[in-house]
Amino acid sequence: MNIQRLHVGPRLSEVAIFNRTVYLAGQIAEDTSQDFAAQTREVLGHIDRLLEEAGSDKSQILMCQIYITDVNNMATMNEIWDAWVPAGNTPPRATVQAQLVRPELLIEIVVTAAQK
């Protein structure tokens, strides 16, 4: 089986697909002037777009890892997440407070999903 990569750059690919499993790189906000809620919505939008491009969608998420810089944003993140994730298809998830590589980044999300 071949590995398919999408949006290949010199350091990373945004997506790798192998054996009908979609692996996304950690997704971050491009507009880092936004507050936590807006960055979260932007990141979820990136995930939607990349999963669609890979032949999947958020109902097919197998595992999600969420990194936030401030645990005080957990309630906001959960509110946005709950509105975004399809009812009955909530995936296993881990949420960790972490220092991200740039201080203006407030959230990063990593997703693994099945293709449809």
**Would you write out the chain's pLDDT as a tens digit for each of its 116 residues?**
799 999 999 999 999 999 999 999 999 999 999 999 999 999 999 999 999 999 999 999 999 999 999 999 999 999 999 999 999 999 999 999 999 999 999 999 999 999 99
Nearest residue to 27 (alpha-carbon basis) of 70, 54, 84, 67:
67
Return the residue matching tokens 């959230």.
Answer: 107
Q: pTM for this one?
A: 0.96
Q: Which domain holds residue 56?
A: 4-114
Q: Residue 19 maps to which CATH number?
A: 3.30.1330.40
Tally the domains of the chain: 1
Phi and psi of 31, rounded to 5°? -95, 90
